[in-house]
Amino acid sequence: IAFPDAVYLVDAIEGGKELVEACKPALESNHVTKVIHDCKRDSEALYFQFGIKLHNVMDTQIAYSLIEEQEGKKRAYDVYISFVSLLADPRYCGMPYPEKEEVRTLLRQDPNFWKNRPLSEMMIRAATDDVRFLLNIHEKMMEKLSKVSSWRLAVRSELYCRCFCINDNQQADWPPLPTVPDDIEAEARVPEVDILSLLDVPPGKMGRVIGRKGSSIMAVKESCNVEIHIGGAKGPPDRVFIIGPVKEVRKAEAILRGRMLEF
């Protein structure tokens, strides 16, 4: 956890559940902004392991895409900026991060890499570098974002937080999504609000949903202007998550349901 004057390493293995739960008020607070790059899996782990509903997040992966869109740049629908690429971008940080790939290699070789204790110097550096640049990046991004884009960022970041956090009450116990701020000028074009939709995929049908080399998913993303996330190996493997404007999400749902019915 990075603050302007220090970085704290919260060790869930050594400190246990009580230590992580001590962070719960801040992680769920509406008054403390959490800056994270692609928070979906972090939020999932906090929710299912510690009952923490991550809230009031500014996701730098989403912010990057919104700034690119704001500047008239079109991105491929299956491309999301990686943290390493974001750090390397001179507009935000201009810092190479080769050690990240080294850690990924070690993690592939040993899935229990992060359970090793005591923490090695490389582990401490990697954990620290994952957060210590984010506050500065956040500041630079917020200077670029328009009021409308800032609102869209807040909404989509909330949807990222709850994307893989499936429960039986349709996430009714999560905080409400941010409403359109009063200070957005009346003449500003306010886009349709984003929503999160979950589709259950019957056994044996996920291949049809994804398509050869992802072609089906890619076609739906392009035609509907939505994000589509699949649990994959990390789970849940039988569900598809769609994020985007209401009408576009409904259209994507219909197309994907049609694919499931194909023989």
Least confident residue range of 77-81, 91-95, 143-147: 77-81
**Mean pLDDT along residues 109-119:** 94
The predicted structure's pLDDT at residue 236: 82
The answer to the question of residue 141 being in a domain is yes
The predicted structure's pLDDT at residue 234: 78
> Is the domain of 156 the same as that of 215?
no
User: Both tokens of residue 241?
Assistant: 């998550």
The CA–CA distances, whole Å, from 63 to 26, 68, 97, 205 equal: 22, 9, 20, 33
What CATH number should be reported for the domain holding residue 253? 3.30.1370.10
Please give the residue that has the higher pLDDT: either 192 or 160: 160
The answer to the question of residue 152 being in a domain is yes
Residue 77: pLDDT above 60?
Answer: no
The answer to the question of residue 59 being in a domain is yes
Q: What is the mean pLDDT of the chain?
A: 91
The answer to the question of residue 183 being in a domain is no
> Is the domain of 103 the same as that of 151?
yes
> Is the domain of 159 the same as that of 208?
no
**Mean pLDDT along residues 57-83:** 87
The predicted structure's pLDDT at residue 75: 65
The predicted structure's pLDDT at residue 11: 94
> Is the domain of 85 the same as that of 135?
yes
Residue 115: pLDDT above 90?
Answer: yes
The predicted structure's pLDDT at residue 125: 94
**Residue of 199, 181, 205 whose CA lies nearest to 250:** 199
**Distance (Å, whole) CA 140 – CA 22:** 30
Residue 86: pLDDT above 70?
Answer: yes
- Environment class of 163 (CB within 10 Å of its CB; exposed 0-12, middle 13-18, buried 19+): buried
Tally DSSP H helices, then E strands, for the chain.
12, 7
> Is the domain of 120 the same as that of 200?
no
The predicted structure's pLDDT at residue 186: 64
**Distance (Å, whole) CA 237 – CA 210:** 12
Q: For a pLDDT cut of 70, what percent of the chain falls above it?
A: 97
**Residue of 151, 208, 231 whose CA lies nearest to 183:** 151
Residue 196: pLDDT above 80?
Answer: yes
> Is the domain of 26 the same as that of 110?
yes
> Structural domain tally of the chain?
2
pLDDT in tens, 3-53: 999 999 999 999 999 999 999 999 999 999 999 999 999 999 999 999 999
The residue type of 2 is A
The predicted structure's pLDDT at residue 263: 60
The predicted structure's pLDDT at residue 192: 87
Residue 188: pLDDT above 80?
Answer: no
**Mean pLDDT along residues 119-134:** 94
Residue 169: pLDDT above 90?
Answer: no
What CATH number should be reported for the domain holding residue 71? 3.30.420.10
Q: What is the CA radius of gyration of the chain?
A: 19
> Is the domain of 222 the same as that of 152?
no
> Is the domain of 105 the same as that of 45?
yes
The answer to the question of residue 179 being in a domain is no
Q: For a pLDDT cut of 90, what percent of the chain falls above it?
A: 72
Structural domain containing residue 240: 192-262
The CA–CA distances, whole Å, from 210 to 65, 184, 200, 229 equal: 23, 38, 13, 10
Residue 78: pLDDT above 80?
Answer: no
> Is the domain of 31 the same as that of 93?
yes
